[in-house]
Structures are given as C-alpha cells and as structure tokens.
Structure 1
Amino acid sequence: MTVHGRQLLVDRVLVLGRKPAHVADELGMSRQCVYRWVRRCQDEGAAGLVDRSSRPHRCPCRTAPEVEAAVVALRVSSHRPSPKSAPRTDPEVSTPTRRPQPRSSCNPVIFVETDFFDTGTV
C-alpha cells in the first residue's frame, strides 16, 4: 500500500469516524494492520506512514570486521572460477549426463484416420 493509501485509511478512521474493522474489511487487510497505521500516524504524524526498513537494528552474531576483511582479501587474491562457469577441458571426465536419443532411432507412431460416418472404410 502506498503512503497516499495509508493516509486515506487513517482519514477514514480518524476524520470520518469509521470503525477500523469496517475499513479493514473494505481494503482487504487485517484490523491489526489498520490499528498499526492509525497508531503510527497518531504518534509520528505523516512520517509514520512512510515505508520502514526491515533491516535489523543490531546483529549480535555478525562476523568481526577483521575476519571479514581477511576473507575478502583471500577471495580476491586466490580468485578461481566456479565449476559451473569454468570451461570444460575433457568431456570424458565431466559428470555423465543422459543424452536424448536422435529421432531416427525412435519408433514412429502411425496415425490412422477413421471415418466414423462411413463404416468399413479406413
């Protein structure tokens, strides 16, 4: 929902005096969501209706900056292409795959037209 849509939602509840449950039903959202936008607008004003980042405020298990820098330096210095992007030098060494059979070795299917109106003819 856009910021304008959220403002209309809040106006329906606060200005027009509509019940949040009815507004939620009209807009296809939960009552909890309507109450959340109304509360944010009351607490923060129009700034409360703007999209917020979902990024966490802190990350207690984050890798230490020194270790992160060492890993990045190691990756840059010993860059090797991934197995998917590396060119194949010996097709016999690569993983065997099932290859489709050529059409000439397949058994052809013969379709027979049948005339249901004239019995006995094919």
Structure 2
Amino acid sequence: MADVRYTKDHEWIRVEGSVGTVGITDYAQSQLGDVVFVEVPEPGRTLEQGKESAVVESVKAASEIYAPVSGEVLEGNQALVEDPALVNSAAEGDGWFYTLRIADPAQLDGLMDAAAYKDYVEGLH
C-alpha cells in the first residue's frame, strides 16, 4: 500500500518506491472554490522542497502549489490542464498535479501522516 504524507500547505504526496504523486487535499480545494486553471510543471524540471511547483487558480484566488519534497518531475497531469475542475471533484485521486522522483526520502519524515493532518485541519477551524 502506498504511503501518503501531507504538508501544512495542504499538499499531499503518495509515495510508491522512489516516486511520489503530488496534489492538493480535499480541504485545500474546498477553500479554493471552483478551480478554473491549473499549471503543472514540465517533465525534467527539478523541484526543491517548499518551493513553488505548480499553480492553481479558482474563481476566488490564484495559489501556488509547493513541492512537499525535492525531486525531478516525471510527469505533469495533462488531464488536469484540460479539465481543471478535476481538482474539485477528485482532489486526492484523478486531480493529482504531477509525479516526481524523490531525491531525498528522509524529507518525507518531516511531513504529516493522515491522522496528524486531520488533527491539523481540525485545529484550523
């Protein structure tokens, strides 16, 4: 089973071996409202943990997506570019933003597991 970790900026990363799939959480998409535009990173781009990796725009606001860990982009989700509303309907499924090869697996240790993230979100209300 894949290990899923979360950031305080509401990104998730599903880890399978040395590859991570990155998206935003259901909580994040609910705060954004209807997503109208998504920009995903190009394959081959090197991302640094905590730095901007993608952009999502909704009817309310534009927001950066930050890389939960450092690594090299393997694939951007072109389906999301063509149908940005996938972020709203399947934020933690088909609405993923990109995959990357994880440069330093130890960075995952600093991220929250599902239970910790749930507690974190509940603390925001």
TM-score relative to the length of structure 2: 0.20
Higher strand content, 1 or 2: 2
Structure possessing the higher radius of gyration over alpha carbons:
1
Higher helix content, 1 or 2: 1
Relative contact order (alpha carbons < 8 A, sep ≥ 6): 1 or 2 greater?
2
TM-score relative to the length of structure 1: 0.20
